[in-house]
Structure 1
Amino acid sequence: MEFEFRETLLYVENLSVVYDDVTIIKDLSLIEKNVVRSKYENTGQVIAVVGRSGRGKSTFFKALTGLVHPNSGKILIKDFESSELNAAKPVKEGDIGFVDQKYTLFRHKTVSQTLKFALRKTTLTAQEQDSKIEKYIKDWGLETCKDKYPNELSGGQRQRTAIIEQLFSSDKLIVLDEPFSGLDIGNIEEVKKSFELLSATHDHNTVIFSTHDIELAVELAQSIYVIGYPTVSGKKQTYGSIVAKYDLREMGICWKDKSEEHDKLYKEIALQMMNS
Protein backbone atom coordinates (compact mmCIF):
# COMPACT_ATOMS: atom_id res chain seq x y z
CA MET A 1 0.00 0.00 0.00
CA GLU A 2 1.61 3.25 -1.10
CA PHE A 3 1.67 6.11 1.38
CA GLU A 4 3.66 9.23 2.08
CA PHE A 5 4.60 11.00 5.31
CA ARG A 6 4.09 14.76 5.06
CA GLU A 7 3.94 17.62 7.59
CA THR A 8 4.18 17.06 11.33
CA LEU A 9 0.81 17.15 13.15
CA LEU A 10 1.99 16.36 16.69
CA TYR A 11 5.44 16.78 18.24
CA VAL A 12 6.22 15.81 21.84
CA GLU A 13 9.75 16.20 23.19
CA ASN A 14 11.09 15.02 26.58
CA LEU A 15 7.75 15.45 28.33
CA SER A 16 7.83 15.07 32.11
CA VAL A 17 5.08 15.47 34.72
CA VAL A 18 5.68 15.44 38.49
CA TYR A 19 2.96 15.27 41.18
CA ASP A 20 3.98 16.03 44.79
CA ASP A 21 7.64 15.25 44.07
CA VAL A 22 6.70 11.94 42.42
CA THR A 23 7.66 11.66 38.75
CA ILE A 24 4.72 10.16 36.84
CA ILE A 25 6.07 10.36 33.28
CA LYS A 26 9.52 11.39 32.12
CA ASP A 27 11.38 11.95 28.84
CA LEU A 28 8.35 10.99 26.77
CA SER A 29 8.82 11.87 23.08
CA LEU A 30 6.94 11.16 19.87
CA ILE A 31 6.35 12.57 16.40
CA GLU A 32 3.26 11.94 14.29
CA LYS A 33 3.00 13.20 10.71
CA ASN A 34 0.19 13.59 8.24
CA VAL A 35 -0.02 10.45 6.11
CA VAL A 36 -1.37 10.54 2.58
CA ARG A 37 -2.31 7.37 0.74
CA SER A 38 -2.39 7.20 -3.04
CA LYS A 39 -5.90 6.80 -4.49
CA TYR A 40 -7.50 7.90 -1.19
CA GLU A 41 -8.84 11.42 -0.71
CA ASN A 42 -8.70 11.30 3.11
CA THR A 43 -6.75 8.96 5.33
CA GLY A 44 -6.61 10.38 8.83
CA GLN A 45 -4.34 9.09 11.58
CA VAL A 46 -5.25 6.60 14.30
CA ILE A 47 -2.73 6.25 17.12
CA ALA A 48 -3.04 3.77 19.99
CA VAL A 49 -1.40 4.12 23.40
CA VAL A 50 -1.20 0.90 25.41
CA GLY A 51 0.37 -0.03 28.70
CA ARG A 52 -0.31 -1.54 32.07
CA SER A 53 -2.37 0.39 34.64
CA GLY A 54 -0.45 3.02 36.58
CA ARG A 55 2.18 3.58 33.88
CA GLY A 56 1.11 7.16 33.14
CA LYS A 57 -1.24 6.92 30.15
CA SER A 58 -3.89 9.16 31.72
CA THR A 59 -1.28 11.69 32.86
CA PHE A 60 0.14 11.77 29.34
CA PHE A 61 -3.33 12.42 27.91
CA LYS A 62 -3.98 15.20 30.42
CA ALA A 63 -0.70 16.89 29.48
CA LEU A 64 -1.42 16.38 25.78
CA THR A 65 -4.80 18.10 26.05
CA GLY A 66 -3.52 20.95 28.23
CA LEU A 67 -5.34 19.80 31.37
CA VAL A 68 -2.07 19.56 33.31
CA HIS A 69 1.12 21.54 32.76
CA PRO A 70 4.29 19.50 32.22
CA ASN A 71 7.29 20.17 34.43
CA SER A 72 9.59 19.94 31.43
CA GLY A 73 9.50 19.25 27.72
CA LYS A 74 7.19 20.60 25.05
CA ILE A 75 4.13 19.69 23.02
CA LEU A 76 3.65 21.26 19.61
CA ILE A 77 0.81 20.76 17.15
CA LYS A 78 0.32 21.90 13.58
CA ASP A 79 -1.02 25.44 13.33
CA PHE A 80 -3.99 24.79 11.04
CA GLU A 81 -4.67 28.51 10.67
CA SER A 82 -1.27 29.15 9.08
CA SER A 83 -0.65 28.72 5.37
CA GLU A 84 2.90 27.52 6.03
CA LEU A 85 3.33 23.76 5.61
CA ASN A 86 5.19 23.11 8.87
CA ALA A 87 3.83 25.95 11.01
CA ALA A 88 3.51 24.78 14.63
CA LYS A 89 2.25 26.15 17.93
CA PRO A 90 2.50 25.09 21.60
CA VAL A 91 -0.54 23.15 22.71
CA LYS A 92 -2.99 24.78 25.11
CA GLU A 93 -6.22 23.58 26.67
CA GLY A 94 -8.87 23.23 23.98
CA ASP A 95 -6.47 22.68 21.06
CA ILE A 96 -6.80 18.91 21.29
CA GLY A 97 -10.26 17.50 21.94
CA PHE A 98 -10.78 15.09 24.82
CA VAL A 99 -13.56 12.51 25.12
CA ASP A 100 -13.71 10.66 28.42
CA GLN A 101 -15.21 7.23 29.05
CA LYS A 102 -18.56 8.71 30.09
CA TYR A 103 -19.00 10.78 26.88
CA THR A 104 -19.84 13.81 29.04
CA LEU A 105 -22.39 16.16 27.44
CA PHE A 106 -24.51 19.09 28.60
CA ARG A 107 -27.55 17.53 30.30
CA HIS A 108 -29.90 20.34 29.32
CA LYS A 109 -28.85 20.75 25.67
CA THR A 110 -30.06 18.74 22.71
CA VAL A 111 -27.60 17.28 20.21
CA SER A 112 -28.11 20.27 17.88
CA GLN A 113 -27.76 22.77 20.74
CA THR A 114 -24.60 21.08 21.98
CA LEU A 115 -22.96 21.26 18.55
CA LYS A 116 -24.10 24.87 18.08
CA PHE A 117 -22.46 25.78 21.39
CA ALA A 118 -19.24 24.05 20.32
CA LEU A 119 -19.03 26.37 17.29
CA ARG A 120 -19.51 29.56 19.31
CA LYS A 121 -15.88 30.69 18.96
CA THR A 122 -15.57 30.07 15.23
CA THR A 123 -15.66 32.75 12.57
CA LEU A 124 -18.43 30.94 10.71
CA THR A 125 -21.70 32.79 10.10
CA ALA A 126 -24.85 31.46 11.76
CA GLN A 127 -25.93 29.99 8.44
CA GLU A 128 -22.54 28.31 7.92
CA GLN A 129 -22.69 26.89 11.44
CA ASP A 130 -26.14 25.43 10.80
CA SER A 131 -24.97 23.91 7.51
CA LYS A 132 -21.93 22.33 9.18
CA ILE A 133 -24.06 20.91 12.00
CA GLU A 134 -26.58 19.47 9.53
CA LYS A 135 -23.82 17.84 7.48
CA TYR A 136 -22.18 16.17 10.49
CA ILE A 137 -25.52 15.05 11.93
CA LYS A 138 -26.35 13.42 8.60
CA ASP A 139 -22.90 11.92 7.97
CA TRP A 140 -22.66 10.55 11.52
CA GLY A 141 -26.14 9.01 11.54
CA LEU A 142 -27.64 11.30 14.18
CA GLU A 143 -30.60 12.64 12.19
CA THR A 144 -33.20 10.87 14.34
CA CYS A 145 -31.80 12.27 17.58
CA LYS A 146 -30.76 15.84 16.76
CA ASP A 147 -33.49 17.20 19.07
CA LYS A 148 -32.91 14.67 21.84
CA TYR A 149 -31.16 15.20 25.18
CA PRO A 150 -28.24 13.05 26.42
CA ASN A 151 -30.44 10.87 28.65
CA GLU A 152 -32.47 9.95 25.54
CA LEU A 153 -29.44 8.78 23.54
CA SER A 154 -27.79 5.38 23.28
CA GLY A 155 -24.16 5.00 24.29
CA GLY A 156 -23.05 5.07 20.66
CA GLN A 157 -25.09 8.19 19.93
CA ARG A 158 -23.67 9.97 22.98
CA GLN A 159 -20.16 9.07 21.96
CA ARG A 160 -20.61 10.29 18.39
CA THR A 161 -22.09 13.55 19.67
CA ALA A 162 -19.18 13.98 22.11
CA ILE A 163 -16.63 13.35 19.36
CA ILE A 164 -18.24 15.87 16.97
CA GLU A 165 -18.49 18.40 19.80
CA GLN A 166 -14.76 18.09 20.48
CA LEU A 167 -13.92 18.25 16.76
CA PHE A 168 -15.93 21.45 16.42
CA SER A 169 -14.23 23.16 19.35
CA SER A 170 -10.68 21.84 18.92
CA ASP A 171 -10.42 21.09 15.20
CA LYS A 172 -8.37 18.16 13.92
CA LEU A 173 -6.81 16.35 16.91
CA ILE A 174 -8.82 14.32 19.41
CA VAL A 175 -7.95 12.07 22.36
CA LEU A 176 -10.22 9.26 23.54
CA ASP A 177 -9.54 7.72 26.95
CA GLU A 178 -10.33 3.97 26.93
CA PRO A 179 -13.21 4.31 24.42
CA PHE A 180 -13.78 0.53 24.36
CA SER A 181 -13.74 -0.06 28.12
CA GLY A 182 -16.77 -1.99 29.36
CA LEU A 183 -18.58 -1.97 26.01
CA ASP A 184 -20.48 -4.90 24.50
CA ILE A 185 -19.80 -6.08 20.95
CA GLY A 186 -22.46 -3.83 19.41
CA ASN A 187 -21.11 -0.66 21.02
CA ILE A 188 -17.53 -1.62 20.13
CA GLU A 189 -18.63 -1.71 16.49
CA GLU A 190 -20.17 1.77 16.96
CA VAL A 191 -16.81 3.10 18.20
CA LYS A 192 -15.05 1.53 15.22
CA LYS A 193 -17.49 3.31 12.90
CA SER A 194 -16.69 6.61 14.64
CA PHE A 195 -12.99 6.04 13.97
CA GLU A 196 -13.74 5.34 10.29
CA LEU A 197 -15.84 8.50 10.02
CA LEU A 198 -13.12 10.61 11.62
CA SER A 199 -10.48 9.29 9.24
CA ALA A 200 -12.70 9.76 6.20
CA THR A 201 -13.71 13.33 7.08
CA HIS A 202 -10.26 14.94 6.71
CA ASP A 203 -6.72 13.67 6.19
CA HIS A 204 -5.51 15.83 9.11
CA ASN A 205 -7.95 14.25 11.55
CA THR A 206 -5.88 12.46 14.18
CA VAL A 207 -7.35 10.10 16.77
CA ILE A 208 -5.24 9.15 19.78
CA PHE A 209 -6.80 6.51 22.01
CA SER A 210 -5.75 4.40 24.96
CA THR A 211 -6.81 0.81 25.40
CA HIS A 212 -5.99 -2.35 27.34
CA ASP A 213 -7.18 -4.39 24.35
CA ILE A 214 -4.05 -4.96 22.28
CA GLU A 215 -6.03 -6.79 19.60
CA LEU A 216 -8.18 -3.71 18.98
CA ALA A 217 -5.09 -1.49 18.94
CA VAL A 218 -3.49 -3.67 16.26
CA GLU A 219 -6.74 -3.77 14.27
CA LEU A 220 -7.46 -0.03 14.29
CA ALA A 221 -4.22 1.92 14.71
CA GLN A 222 -1.53 2.84 12.24
CA SER A 223 1.00 3.41 15.00
CA ILE A 224 1.08 1.99 18.52
CA TYR A 225 3.03 3.36 21.49
CA VAL A 226 3.72 1.27 24.58
CA ILE A 227 4.03 3.28 27.81
CA GLY A 228 5.79 1.44 30.61
CA TYR A 229 8.57 1.67 33.16
CA PRO A 230 11.81 2.01 31.17
CA THR A 231 15.03 0.24 32.05
CA VAL A 232 17.94 2.66 32.35
CA SER A 233 21.50 1.37 32.88
CA GLY A 234 20.10 -2.03 33.79
CA LYS A 235 17.65 -0.69 36.41
CA LYS A 236 13.90 -0.49 35.93
CA GLN A 237 12.57 3.00 36.69
CA THR A 238 9.34 3.88 38.50
CA TYR A 239 8.06 6.48 36.02
CA GLY A 240 6.28 6.01 32.73
CA SER A 241 7.83 6.63 29.34
CA ILE A 242 7.52 5.27 25.82
CA VAL A 243 9.32 1.94 25.81
CA ALA A 244 8.35 0.85 22.29
CA LYS A 245 6.74 2.13 19.10
CA TYR A 246 5.26 0.02 16.32
CA ASP A 247 4.48 1.68 12.99
CA LEU A 248 2.16 -0.68 11.13
CA ARG A 249 2.50 1.39 7.96
CA GLU A 250 6.26 0.92 7.80
CA MET A 251 5.82 -2.74 8.79
CA GLY A 252 3.58 -3.23 5.76
CA ILE A 253 0.60 -4.61 7.72
CA CYS A 254 -1.54 -1.48 8.02
CA TRP A 255 -4.93 -1.22 6.26
CA LYS A 256 -4.93 -5.00 5.71
CA ASP A 257 -7.08 -7.87 6.92
CA LYS A 258 -5.94 -9.79 9.96
CA SER A 259 -2.98 -12.06 9.26
CA GLU A 260 -0.23 -14.04 10.96
CA GLU A 261 1.81 -10.83 11.02
CA HIS A 262 -0.89 -9.15 13.09
CA ASP A 263 -0.95 -12.09 15.52
CA LYS A 264 2.83 -11.94 15.83
CA LEU A 265 2.69 -8.21 16.55
CA TYR A 266 -0.07 -8.76 19.13
CA LYS A 267 2.13 -11.23 21.02
CA GLU A 268 5.18 -8.96 20.80
CA ILE A 269 3.29 -5.98 22.23
CA ALA A 270 1.77 -8.13 24.99
CA LEU A 271 5.25 -9.30 25.99
CA GLN A 272 6.58 -5.72 25.88
CA MET A 273 3.77 -4.57 28.17
CA MET A 274 4.29 -7.46 30.57
CA ASN A 275 8.00 -6.66 30.92
CA SER A 276 7.51 -2.93 31.48
Structure 2
Amino acid sequence: MMANYIYKDTILKVENVNLTLGDKVILEKVNAEVKDVTQTGAVRGQIVGFLGPSGIGKTKLFEIMAGLLKPTSGSVYYGKDKKPAHPGCAGVVQQNYPLFMHRTVLGNLEIGAAKNYKNTEERKAKIYDFLDRFKLRPYQDSYPAQLSGGQKQRVAIAQQLLCTDNFLLMDEPFSGLDINMVEEVSEMIVEIANMDEHNTIIIVSHDIVSTAAIADNLWLMGREKDKEGNPVSGAKIKYTFDLLERELAWREDIRKLPAFTKLINEIRDLFHDL
Protein backbone atom coordinates (compact mmCIF):
# COMPACT_ATOMS: atom_id res chain seq x y z
CA MET A 1 0.00 0.00 0.00
CA MET A 2 1.11 3.57 -0.69
CA ALA A 3 2.27 5.50 2.37
CA ASN A 4 0.14 8.48 3.38
CA TYR A 5 0.78 11.63 1.42
CA ILE A 6 -0.83 15.02 0.88
CA TYR A 7 -0.59 17.64 -1.84
CA LYS A 8 0.11 21.14 -0.58
CA ASP A 9 0.94 24.41 -2.35
CA THR A 10 1.46 24.80 -6.09
CA ILE A 11 5.20 25.30 -6.59
CA LEU A 12 5.33 25.42 -10.39
CA LYS A 13 2.59 26.59 -12.74
CA VAL A 14 2.46 26.78 -16.53
CA GLU A 15 -0.49 29.00 -17.39
CA ASN A 16 -1.96 29.40 -20.88
CA VAL A 17 1.44 29.38 -22.59
CA ASN A 18 1.38 30.04 -26.33
CA LEU A 19 4.34 30.21 -28.69
CA THR A 20 4.35 31.26 -32.34
CA LEU A 21 7.60 31.44 -34.31
CA GLY A 22 7.20 33.20 -37.64
CA ASP A 23 3.90 31.95 -38.98
CA LYS A 24 4.10 28.58 -37.20
CA VAL A 25 2.15 27.89 -34.01
CA ILE A 26 4.39 25.73 -31.81
CA LEU A 27 2.52 25.72 -28.49
CA GLU A 28 -1.10 26.57 -27.78
CA LYS A 29 -2.79 26.93 -24.39
CA VAL A 30 -0.28 24.84 -22.46
CA ASN A 31 -1.36 24.42 -18.84
CA ALA A 32 0.24 22.33 -16.11
CA GLU A 33 1.19 22.55 -12.47
CA VAL A 34 3.33 20.82 -9.87
CA LYS A 35 2.24 20.71 -6.25
CA ASP A 36 4.45 20.23 -3.21
CA VAL A 37 3.80 16.69 -2.00
CA THR A 38 4.66 15.46 1.48
CA GLN A 39 4.79 11.91 2.77
CA THR A 40 4.43 10.94 6.40
CA GLY A 41 7.80 10.04 7.88
CA ALA A 42 9.90 10.84 4.80
CA VAL A 43 11.38 13.73 2.84
CA ARG A 44 10.09 13.65 -0.73
CA GLY A 45 10.73 16.02 -3.57
CA GLN A 46 8.84 16.03 -6.86
CA ILE A 47 9.81 14.31 -10.13
CA VAL A 48 7.81 15.09 -13.25
CA GLY A 49 8.34 13.10 -16.44
CA PHE A 50 7.68 15.17 -19.55
CA LEU A 51 7.07 12.96 -22.60
CA GLY A 52 6.05 13.40 -26.22
CA PRO A 53 7.03 12.56 -29.80
CA SER A 54 10.03 14.22 -31.43
CA GLY A 55 9.32 17.63 -32.92
CA ILE A 56 6.21 18.20 -30.81
CA GLY A 57 7.58 21.28 -29.01
CA LYS A 58 8.97 19.78 -25.78
CA THR A 59 12.29 21.58 -26.14
CA LYS A 60 10.60 24.96 -26.65
CA LEU A 61 8.44 24.49 -23.56
CA PHE A 62 11.56 23.34 -21.70
CA GLU A 63 13.27 26.62 -22.68
CA ILE A 64 10.23 28.65 -21.63
CA MET A 65 10.11 26.94 -18.23
CA ALA A 66 13.83 27.64 -17.80
CA GLY A 67 13.26 31.33 -18.57
CA LEU A 68 15.47 31.09 -21.66
CA LEU A 69 12.67 31.75 -24.17
CA LYS A 70 9.81 34.20 -23.81
CA PRO A 71 6.41 32.81 -24.80
CA THR A 72 4.18 34.71 -27.19
CA SER A 73 1.68 34.84 -24.34
CA GLY A 74 1.07 33.11 -21.03
CA SER A 75 3.24 32.68 -17.95
CA VAL A 76 5.35 30.26 -15.95
CA TYR A 77 5.59 30.80 -12.18
CA TYR A 78 7.90 29.23 -9.62
CA GLY A 79 7.44 28.83 -5.87
CA LYS A 80 4.62 29.69 -3.51
CA ASP A 81 5.35 33.38 -4.09
CA LYS A 82 4.81 32.91 -7.86
CA LYS A 83 8.10 34.26 -9.19
CA PRO A 84 7.99 34.53 -13.01
CA ALA A 85 10.35 32.27 -14.93
CA HIS A 86 13.63 34.00 -15.78
CA PRO A 87 17.17 32.90 -16.63
CA GLY A 88 18.58 31.21 -13.53
CA CYS A 89 15.19 30.43 -11.97
CA ALA A 90 15.88 26.73 -12.50
CA GLY A 91 18.99 24.69 -13.03
CA VAL A 92 19.28 23.31 -16.55
CA VAL A 93 21.18 20.10 -17.30
CA GLN A 94 21.43 19.61 -21.05
CA GLN A 95 22.41 16.43 -22.88
CA ASN A 96 26.02 17.41 -23.51
CA TYR A 97 26.65 18.56 -19.91
CA PRO A 98 28.14 21.99 -20.82
CA LEU A 99 30.89 22.56 -18.26
CA PHE A 100 33.76 25.04 -18.15
CA MET A 101 36.47 22.87 -19.69
CA HIS A 102 39.33 25.04 -18.43
CA ARG A 103 38.18 24.70 -14.82
CA THR A 104 38.46 21.74 -12.49
CA VAL A 105 35.45 20.03 -10.93
CA LEU A 106 35.95 22.22 -7.88
CA GLY A 107 36.17 25.30 -10.07
CA ASN A 108 32.95 24.44 -11.89
CA LEU A 109 31.11 24.05 -8.59
CA GLU A 110 32.54 27.33 -7.30
CA ILE A 111 30.98 29.12 -10.28
CA GLY A 112 27.65 27.47 -9.56
CA ALA A 113 27.72 28.37 -5.87
CA ALA A 114 28.77 32.01 -6.34
CA LYS A 115 25.20 33.18 -6.99
CA ASN A 116 23.52 31.82 -3.86
CA TYR A 117 26.35 31.72 -1.33
CA LYS A 118 28.09 35.06 -0.83
CA ASN A 119 29.72 34.08 2.46
CA THR A 120 33.04 32.38 1.63
CA GLU A 121 32.92 29.82 4.43
CA GLU A 122 29.30 28.91 3.76
CA ARG A 123 30.01 28.58 0.03
CA LYS A 124 33.03 26.36 0.66
CA ALA A 125 31.07 24.12 3.05
CA LYS A 126 28.21 23.75 0.56
CA ILE A 127 30.57 22.89 -2.31
CA TYR A 128 32.32 20.17 -0.32
CA ASP A 129 28.96 18.84 0.85
CA PHE A 130 27.95 18.46 -2.81
CA LEU A 131 31.31 16.91 -3.73
CA ASP A 132 30.63 14.23 -1.13
CA ARG A 133 26.94 13.78 -1.98
CA PHE A 134 27.74 13.26 -5.66
CA LYS A 135 30.83 11.09 -5.01
CA LEU A 136 33.07 13.67 -6.68
CA ARG A 137 35.59 14.40 -3.93
CA PRO A 138 38.30 12.16 -5.53
CA TYR A 139 37.90 14.14 -8.79
CA GLN A 140 37.76 17.67 -7.41
CA ASP A 141 41.06 18.63 -9.06
CA SER A 142 40.30 16.90 -12.36
CA TYR A 143 39.18 18.69 -15.52
CA PRO A 144 35.99 17.73 -17.43
CA ALA A 145 38.05 16.15 -20.24
CA GLN A 146 39.44 13.69 -17.69
CA LEU A 147 36.00 12.53 -16.50
CA SER A 148 33.65 9.81 -17.70
CA GLY A 149 30.23 10.71 -19.10
CA GLY A 150 28.54 9.76 -15.83
CA GLN A 151 30.98 11.85 -13.80
CA LYS A 152 30.43 14.86 -16.07
CA GLN A 153 26.69 14.48 -15.61
CA ARG A 154 27.06 14.48 -11.82
CA VAL A 155 29.23 17.61 -11.97
CA ALA A 156 26.68 19.36 -14.22
CA ILE A 157 23.81 18.47 -11.88
CA ALA A 158 25.70 19.55 -8.77
CA GLN A 159 26.71 22.83 -10.44
CA GLN A 160 23.12 23.64 -11.42
CA LEU A 161 21.70 22.72 -8.02
CA LEU A 162 24.18 25.08 -6.36
CA CYS A 163 23.03 28.04 -8.45
CA THR A 164 19.27 27.55 -8.28
CA ASP A 165 16.47 27.33 -5.73
CA ASN A 166 15.17 23.77 -5.69
CA PHE A 167 14.23 23.46 -9.39
CA LEU A 168 16.09 21.36 -11.95
CA LEU A 169 15.22 20.75 -15.61
CA MET A 170 16.94 17.76 -17.23
CA ASP A 171 17.02 17.19 -20.98
CA GLU A 172 17.20 13.49 -21.95
CA PRO A 173 19.20 12.30 -18.91
CA PHE A 174 19.00 8.64 -20.03
CA SER A 175 20.05 9.21 -23.64
CA GLY A 176 22.84 6.94 -24.88
CA LEU A 177 23.35 5.17 -21.54
CA ASP A 178 23.66 1.42 -21.05
CA ILE A 179 21.26 -0.30 -18.67
CA ASN A 180 23.62 -0.12 -15.67
CA MET A 181 24.17 3.61 -16.16
CA VAL A 182 20.42 4.19 -16.57
CA GLU A 183 19.87 2.57 -13.16
CA GLU A 184 22.65 4.65 -11.61
CA VAL A 185 21.31 7.91 -13.07
CA SER A 186 17.77 7.00 -12.00
CA GLU A 187 18.88 6.41 -8.42
CA MET A 188 20.80 9.69 -8.45
CA ILE A 189 17.76 11.68 -9.68
CA VAL A 190 15.58 10.20 -6.94
CA GLU A 191 18.25 10.96 -4.34
CA ILE A 192 18.50 14.57 -5.53
CA ALA A 193 14.73 15.03 -5.43
CA ASN A 194 14.59 13.71 -1.90
CA MET A 195 17.34 15.98 -0.59
CA ASP A 196 14.66 18.60 0.09
CA GLU A 197 10.85 18.51 0.17
CA HIS A 198 10.73 21.42 -2.30
CA ASN A 199 13.20 19.97 -4.79
CA THR A 200 11.44 19.57 -8.10
CA ILE A 201 12.98 17.82 -11.09
CA ILE A 202 11.40 17.90 -14.53
CA ILE A 203 12.74 15.29 -16.94
CA VAL A 204 12.26 15.71 -20.68
CA SER A 205 12.79 12.29 -22.19
CA HIS A 206 11.95 9.79 -24.92
CA ASP A 207 12.60 6.91 -22.51
CA ILE A 208 9.08 6.18 -21.29
CA VAL A 209 9.96 3.27 -19.01
CA SER A 210 12.94 4.83 -17.21
CA THR A 211 11.11 8.12 -16.75
CA ALA A 212 7.86 6.59 -15.49
CA ALA A 213 9.78 4.34 -13.09
CA ILE A 214 11.00 7.31 -11.00
CA ALA A 215 8.33 9.98 -11.61
CA ASP A 216 5.37 10.81 -9.39
CA ASN A 217 3.65 12.69 -12.24
CA LEU A 218 3.81 12.41 -16.02
CA TRP A 219 2.95 15.03 -18.64
CA LEU A 220 2.26 13.82 -22.16
CA MET A 221 2.43 16.44 -24.91
CA GLY A 222 0.62 16.23 -28.23
CA ARG A 223 -1.61 18.00 -30.73
CA GLU A 224 -5.36 18.00 -31.14
CA LYS A 225 -6.84 16.52 -34.32
CA ASP A 226 -9.33 18.05 -36.76
CA LYS A 227 -12.44 16.23 -38.04
CA GLU A 228 -10.38 14.45 -40.68
CA GLY A 229 -7.92 13.22 -38.08
CA ASN A 230 -5.09 15.58 -39.11
CA PRO A 231 -2.95 17.23 -36.40
CA VAL A 232 -3.85 20.83 -35.59
CA SER A 233 -0.99 23.32 -35.21
CA GLY A 234 0.05 24.04 -31.67
CA ALA A 235 0.90 21.36 -29.10
CA LYS A 236 -0.32 21.20 -25.53
CA ILE A 237 -0.09 18.86 -22.57
CA LYS A 238 -2.91 16.52 -23.55
CA TYR A 239 -2.64 13.93 -20.78
CA THR A 240 -1.39 13.95 -17.20
CA PHE A 241 -0.83 10.90 -15.03
CA ASP A 242 -0.82 11.13 -11.24
CA LEU A 243 1.32 8.12 -10.35
CA LEU A 244 0.79 8.66 -6.63
CA GLU A 245 -2.94 8.27 -7.11
CA ARG A 246 -2.29 5.08 -9.07
CA GLU A 247 0.09 3.83 -6.36
CA LEU A 248 2.89 3.73 -8.94
CA ALA A 249 5.35 6.12 -7.31
CA TRP A 250 8.04 5.73 -4.68
CA ARG A 251 8.25 1.98 -5.35
CA GLU A 252 11.58 0.18 -5.70
CA ASP A 253 9.82 -2.80 -7.26
CA ILE A 254 7.93 -0.63 -9.73
CA ARG A 255 9.08 -2.37 -12.92
CA LYS A 256 7.80 -5.73 -11.67
CA LEU A 257 4.23 -4.56 -11.11
CA PRO A 258 1.54 -5.53 -13.66
CA ALA A 259 -0.03 -2.09 -13.13
CA PHE A 260 3.24 -0.47 -14.25
CA THR A 261 3.34 -2.57 -17.43
CA LYS A 262 -0.27 -1.57 -18.07
CA LEU A 263 0.64 2.12 -17.63
CA ILE A 264 3.56 1.87 -20.09
CA ASN A 265 1.34 0.19 -22.68
CA GLU A 266 -1.31 2.87 -22.14
CA ILE A 267 1.22 5.63 -22.78
CA ARG A 268 2.65 3.88 -25.85
CA ASP A 269 -0.85 3.52 -27.29
CA LEU A 270 -1.47 7.24 -26.74
CA PHE A 271 1.74 8.11 -28.59
CA HIS A 272 0.12 6.88 -31.82
CA ASP A 273 -2.52 9.58 -31.44
CA LEU A 274 -0.29 12.54 -30.56
TM-score normalised by L of structure 1: 0.93
Distance in 1 between the 2:248 and 2:114 partners? 41
> How much does 1:234 deviate?
7.2
- Pick which of 170-179 and 230-239 moved more: 230-239
In structure 2, which of residues 242, 265, 268 is the aligned counterpart of residue 267 of structure 1?
265
Distance in 2 between the 1:123 and 1:253 partners? 37
Distance in 1 between the 2:77 and 2:115 partners? 22
- Give the aligned partner of residue 39 of structure 2: 37
Mapped contact 1:174–1:207 kept (Cα < 8 A): yes
What secondary structure does 2:174 align onto?
A: coil
Report the identity percentage: 32
1:189-210 deviation line (CA, Å, top 9, x unaligned): 2311320221221111111011
Distance in 1 between the 2:75 and 2:55 partners? 22
Distance in 2 between the 1:253 and 1:200 partners? 17
- Paired amino acid for 1:272: L
- Give the aligned partner of residue 145 of structure 1: 139
5+ long unaligned stretches in structure 2? none
- Paired amino acid for 2:38: V
Alignment of 1:131-210 (within 5 A): 131-210=125-204
Distance in 2 between the 1:162 and 1:209 partners? 15
Distance in 2 between the 1:181 and 1:230 partners? 28
Distance in 2 between the 1:187 and 1:238 partners? 37
What secondary structure does 2:31 align onto?
A: strand
What secondary structure does 1:76 align onto?
A: strand
Distance in 2 between the 1:45 and 1:231 partners? 32
- Give the aligned partner of residue 10 of structure 2: 8
> How much does 1:123 deviate?
4.4
Mapped contact 2:100–2:108 kept (Cα < 8 A): yes
Distance in 1 between the 2:39 and 2:31 partners? 25
Mapped contact 2:24–2:233 kept (Cα < 8 A): no
TM-score normalised by L of structure 2: 0.94
- Pick which of 261-270 and 118-127 moved more: 118-127
Distance in 2 between the 1:173 and 1:210 partners? 14
In structure 2, which of residues 208, 220, 241 is the aligned counterpart of residue 246 of structure 1?
241
Distance in 2 between the 1:123 and 1:214 partners? 37
Distance in 2 between the 1:221 and 1:53 partners? 20
1:78-124 deviation line (CA, Å, top 9, x unaligned): 1xxxxxxx322111011011111011100011111111111222244
Distance in 2 between the 1:22 and 1:104 partners? 30
- Pick which of 103-112 and 229-238 moved more: 229-238
Mapped contact 1:155–1:187 kept (Cα < 8 A): no
Distance in 2 between the 1:255 and 1:190 partners? 16
Mapped contact 1:140–1:197 kept (Cα < 8 A): no
Distance in 1 between the 2:227 and 2:18 partners? 19
Distance in 1 between the 2:196 and 2:53 partners? 32
- Paired amino acid for 1:60: L
1:229 matched to 2:223: yes
- Sort the Cα spacing of 1:187 and 1:237 in 2 relative to 1 into closer, same or farther, 3 A: same
Alignment of 1:41-190 (within 5 A): 42-78=43-79, 86-190=80-184
- Sort the Cα spacing of 1:188 and 1:162 in 2 relative to 1 into closer, same or farther, 3 A: same
Distance in 2 between the 1:204 and 1:158 partners? 25
1:113-136 deviation line (CA, Å, top 9, x unaligned): 111111222244101111001111
5+ long unaligned stretches in structure 1? 79-85
Mapped contact 1:222–1:248 kept (Cα < 8 A): yes
> How much does 1:253 deviate?
2.0
